[in-house]
Amino acid sequence: VCRLSVKFGATLKTSRLLLERAKELDLAIVGVSFHVGSGCTDPETFVQAISDARCVFDMGAELASICTCLIL
């Protein structure tokens, strides 16, 4: 299993830092995107990715950034 947040994208901790920086710069964050890997056949991987995306949405709401789009 490849943790794509390490290879591509950002971990949850880094996502929070990015959201905080976006707030400082008065940037609007409109959504979250994730990719579990082309050959992924384990449904639990998708469940975890969606759960992590929800966590980022919640962090955005806490920081007054409105996330409205989830790209699979």
Of the candidates 19, 21, 25, 28, which has an alpha carbon nearest to the alpha carbon of residue 60?
A: 19
Give the residue with greater pLDDT, 45 vs 8.
Answer: 45
Share of the chain above pLDDT 70, in %: 90
Give the dihedral sign, CA 60/39/3/22: negative
Q: What is the mean pLDDT of residues 1-11?
A: 65
What does the longest C-alpha to C-alpha distance in the chain come to?
A: 39
Give the residue with greater pLDDT, 18 vs 7.
Answer: 18
Please determine, for residue 1, whether its predicted confidence score (pLDDT) is greater than 60: no
Digit-coded pLDDT (tens) for 31-65: 888 888 788 888 888 888 899 999 999 999 988 77
Q: Could you tell me the residue ranges of all domains in the chain?
A: 4-71
- Residues 6 or more apart from 3 whose CB is under 8 A from it? none
Question: Phi and psi dihedrals of 69, rounded to 5?
Answer: -130, 130
